Structures are given as structure tokens and as C-alpha cells.
Structure 1
Amino acid sequence: MIDRRSRYTHTPVLTADDGRGGTEQVLDLRETPPTSSVLSIVATDADRLDLLAFRYYRDPTRFWRVCDAATDLDPFDVLVPGRPVLIPPDK
């Protein structure tokens, strides 16, 4: 079950061969949708994606919204102090 607020809510579910004669349900690849931002902040050394998500969305698990707004930002990246971070609206 995928949470309704997940980035994978609308991603198709596929059936794949598990290599042992059975099948598994897997998610198809998700394309990053074009996401506009409404705010640009400058990251500090205390900022993390989950903290920004909590600050702007009141939900730290929505960090992926920030990643979708910046095509060069990976969820596993550490924010670089002094570098702008785009904050998209919460949908």
C-alpha cells in the first residue's frame, strides 16, 4: 500500500518474474515531473532535506518535493551551505 502523499502514488505497479518461478509486484520507473518553486532559500550548515521539509510542509517525509524542484539535487546529497535550494509549493 502506498501512502496517498507519496511521490509514488500515481506510479504504475508492474508484475515481474522473480527468477524462482513466481512473480513480484514492483513499481514502474517514476519520471520526475516539472516542478516549479515558490521560494528560494540559501542553505546553511544546519540545513538538511528532512528539516526543510518539516519547516515548509510540516512533514519531514516530504523532502522529495524539494528534490523534485531541483533536478541536480539527489535525496542522498548533503546540502551545500551557501547554495540556493528551491522550495516548491505543497500540493
Structure 2
Amino acid sequence: MAVDRKSRYATAPRVPWQRADGSLVELIAPMPRPARAAVFAATATDIDRLDTLAARYYRDPLKLWRIADAAAALDPFDAVVPGMAIAIPPDK
């Protein structure tokens, strides 16, 4: 499985897994979410998404995982709910 070399998953261990048909595939092992303390909180609107927030605050929509890591939600798609405060961690 190809992973961008700048991704935090680039050095993650790989785990073999056998499909129902007997073929083997290599999966990326789960990684713990890094602790990210928020600098401030932004109130999400109905048009906000992780990538639009990352573009607004980091000038890079690909840094959406910084915001997802700071959220309490397990699913990144649940991290932005209109009207809720969204933790915005530092860009480091």
C-alpha cells in the first residue's frame, strides 16, 4: 500500500491480513492520535468541512488531519457539526 512519505503513516507498521478468498493483503496498523492542544476554537457553520477549515487557518486543505486529531470524534466526518466549537490546534 503506497503512503505519501510525508504522512504520519509512512513509518507505521504493516500488518498482514488474509481475505476470505485466501489472498493476503498488507494493512497499515492503527496509530495512536497525537495529542494536539487547541490554540482556539472556531464555531462551525453549515458550509464548513475539515478541508475548508484547514485551508482557512493553515492555508493548506491537506492539513485537515491536524483539526481531526484535535477533535473528540472518532470519525473525521463527525468532527465538524454546524454550531459546535471546533478545536483548531497549532500548525506544527
Give the shorter-chain TM-score range: 0.7 to 0.9
Structure 1: segments with no counterpart, 5+ residues: none
Map 1:66-77 → 2, pairs under 5 A: 66-72=67-73, 74-77=75-78
Aligned twin of 2:7: 6
Conserved 8 A contact 1:38-1:88: yes
Give me the whole-angstrom Cα distance separating, in 2, the residues matched to 1:51 and 1:19: 39
Aligned twin of 1:59: 60
Give me the whole-angstrom Cα distance separating, in 1, the residues matched to 2:75 and 2:47: 18
Following TM superposition, by how much is the alpha carbon of 1:71 offset from its aligned partner in structure 2, in angstroms?
Answer: 1.5
Structure 2: segments with no counterpart, 5+ residues: none
Number of aligned pairs? 91
Per-residue CA deviation, residues 4-28 of structure 1 (Å, 9 max, x unaligned), is 3434233211223345454222101
Identity %: 46
Give the TM-score, by structure 1 length.
0.76
Give the TM-score, by structure 2 length.
0.75
3-state SS, counterpart of residue 51 of structure 1: helix
Give me the whole-angstrom Cα distance separating, in 2, the residues matched to 1:35 and 1:13: 25
Aligned twin of 1:28: 29
Aligned twin of 2:42: 41
Following TM superposition, by how much is the alpha carbon of 1:87 offset from its aligned partner in structure 2, in angstroms?
Answer: 0.7
